[in-house]
Structure 1
């Protein structure tokens, strides 16, 4: 259950909302990287202190949209440089962080630098950052003194029924756990296929790729990110020219290729990009094109890693 009390905290005066609750004032929707941003962080910290919370759990993390051909992240490292290593180790669903790190994550989200996540402390406390500097803070107590302090900071805390980002309001995604049966089925696939391609989504819009064999399965499994989403595809094709020739005339694809050093990367491309794509992957040793459209993607298997107690808590 989410926390019982939820406040929507914004810099927007309720007097400047229309009859439907839409803000019609003149304040912009960007962080000022200054005193207003600091006020948001101070208010969240005050709510956390009132709820006796000094550590929070990262939930449903993601980074800026999937890499498109020729595209660049909005901010290098999605704003996470200095908080997490370049491979984002430690930034995953269920990871515990200090309140100080959690506040820096909120700062990144307020600035729209690319990374996002929910932050929770059991049923006691939760923070969701939405669009346009809308922040939702859930608490297991009413915190009237903190509400008053938030107003003193120049912000407007308004009680609401629930955060629109609350997990219980979302449609369930992947419900299959990568349990013992999943790994048994995967071993059976490898016995017949010899090699398959494993996509490991450690955060939304980012993936690590592994060519699985019976020989390396246990080692790859041991290194997977907790609560990762695992999707199994047919193996890469060593005939890269054939993969390029079979690309659809229209639409978008996710092109996965293996470099000569064994690293595997992916990029999204439209039909207009195919000529440049062919140049980009000229040195690839194997490749596979996956449809970019959800209803056209048909993996061999898909499941999320459960926790050590066997319970599936990841939200995908």
Structure 2
């Protein structure tokens, strides 16, 4: 259940809206990287203080995909440099961070730098950043002092029934757990295929790839990130020329390949990239095309907490 009290917080004065509710004032839809942005962060801090919250969980984390829809250009590291290491250890679903780190994540989202997540404390406190500098704070308490403080900061809080970015409004996703039954089915596939490709989506729009065999499966499993989405695919095809020739026409696909040094890479491509890919694949060992429209792995499941390694809390 969402928190009982939800407020939309914006810099847009309600007096500057037309009869249809559209904003017609002078405020821009991007962050000023200055005092207004600081006011947003101070408002969230005030709500957290009223609610007695000093730590939040990262939920449904994402980074910029191959198409970035933000109003500002994405930046290297998705805006997370200095908060998390380059491999994003500690930035995963369920990771707990301190309020100061949470506020920095909100800053990243206000700036559309690439990373996005929900910040929540169970069902009692939530912070969601939406498009165009709309921010939503939910609490089990009315937080009157925080509401007043938000107005003092020059922002405009508005009560809502629920945040439009609440998880309850998301489309259904994979919920099958990567439990022992899942791993038994992986072993069954390996018994006949000998090798498989495991896609580890540790945050949305980011993945690591592993070639798994009956011998290395346990070792790979130990290193998987907490709550990762796992997809099992047939192994890469060593006939890279044939894979390139099979690129779908007039649609994008995910192209995965193993470089000469044994590392795995992937990119979203279409047939217009054929010449560039062909030049890049001269020393590739193997490759495979994974369709985006019919994403049908052999097996798919989410790593449950009981099978996840303990992770740092992101306080860096």
Matches within 5 A, 1:121-200: 121-200=121-200
Report runs of 4+ in structure 1 exceeding 4 Å deviation. Answer: none
Match of 2:298 in 1: 300
Match of 2:243 in 1: 243
The SS at the match of 1:266 is strand
Match of 1:314 in 2: none
Match of 2:44 in 1: 44
The SS at the match of 2:188 is helix
Q: Does the aligned pair in 2 maintain the 1:67–1:268 contact within 8 Å?
A: no
The SS at the match of 1:61 is strand
RMSD over aligned Cα, in angstroms? 1.5
Q: Which moved more, 1:275-284 or 1:210-219?
A: 275-284
Q: In structure 2, do the counterparts of structure 1 residues 198 and 255 end up closer, same or farther at CA, with 3 Å as the change threshold?
A: same
Structure 2 unaligned blocks of 5 or more: 309-316
Q: Does the aligned pair in 1 maintain the 2:248–2:270 contact within 8 Å?
A: no
Tell me how far apart the structure 2 counterparts of residues 202 and 18 of structure 1 sit (CA, whole Å).
43
Tell me how far apart the structure 2 counterparts of residues 292 and 166 of structure 1 sit (CA, whole Å).
26
Measured after TM superposition, the shift of residue 309 of structure 1 is: 8.4
Measured after TM superposition, the shift of residue 56 of structure 1 is: 0.4
Q: Does the aligned pair in 2 maintain the 1:254–1:289 contact within 8 Å?
A: yes
The SS at the match of 2:272 is helix
Match of 2:62 in 1: 62
- Deviations along 1:152-211, one digit per CA (max 9) or x if unpaired, are 000001101100011112222112111111000001111110001111101111110001
Measured after TM superposition, the shift of residue 67 of structure 1 is: 7.0
Q: Does the aligned pair in 2 maintain the 1:75–1:113 contact within 8 Å?
A: yes
Q: Does the aligned pair in 1 maintain the 2:247–2:270 contact within 8 Å?
A: no
Aligned length: 304
Measured after TM superposition, the shift of residue 22 of structure 1 is: 2.6
Tell me how far apart the structure 1 counterparts of residues 48 and 74 of structure 2 sit (CA, whole Å).
30
The SS at the match of 1:308 is helix
The SS at the match of 2:306 is coil
The SS at the match of 2:211 is strand
Tell me how far apart the structure 1 counterparts of residues 80 and 225 of structure 2 sit (CA, whole Å).
17
Match of 1:218 in 2: 218
Q: Could you tell me the TM-score, scaled by structure 2's length?
A: 0.93
